[in-house]
Amino acid sequence: MAARLPVALLAERDPYVVQQLRKTLSGLVDLTVVSAAGEALATARALKPDIIITTVLLPDFDGYQLCRRLRDDDVLKSIPILMISVLDSPQVAIRAGADAFLAKPLDDDRLRQVIARLVARAKAA
């Protein structure tokens, strides 16, 4: 029996980015996609994913607020968060609670490495 792929929750509003990430992350994670921060919060509570990937620019509230709300939630606070954005804001992302930040356009190999590292670190904890 094959091992279960880690579950990743992606909050991204751009269909092109979603399509690219589905292709890049195929075989690495089981990807669930939402397009708004509120939807991400509700889905995270229901799904309890192994990692959350979010962009900064979301329609209802931004990725920074999403990170803070995830970190304030006793059930979700230990899930690793990767923030991706065209905004070059790694310090802001980390202060908001993200575990890692990658700038768009994403480097596929680097993205896969960071996700694998965050998931492995969370499982070991």
| Domains of the chain listed by start with CATH number | 7-124 (3.40.50.2300)
Confidence of residue 122 (pLDDT cuts 50, 70, 90): very high
What is the residue type of 108?
D
Q: Is the pLDDT of residue 76 over 90?
A: yes
Half-sphere exposure in the Cβ direction for 62 (13 Å, CA)? 13
Q: Which residues does 109 contact at the CB level (< 8 Å), separation at least 6?
A: none
pLDDT of 1 over the 60 cut: no
Query: Any bridge partners for residue 52, and if so which?
Result: 9, 81
Check pLDDT > 70 for residue 2: no
Cα torsion for 59, 14, 118, 1, to the nearest 10°? 120
What dihedral do alpha carbons 30, 6, 32, 12 form, nearest 10°? Answer: -110
Give me the chain's average pLDDT, please: 95
97/85 Cα distance (integer angstroms):
15
Cα–Cα dist 92/64, whole Å: 8
Can you tell me the distance from the alpha carbon of 106 to that of 79, in angstroms, rounded to the nearest whole number? Answer: 22
Residue with tokens 């993205």: 111
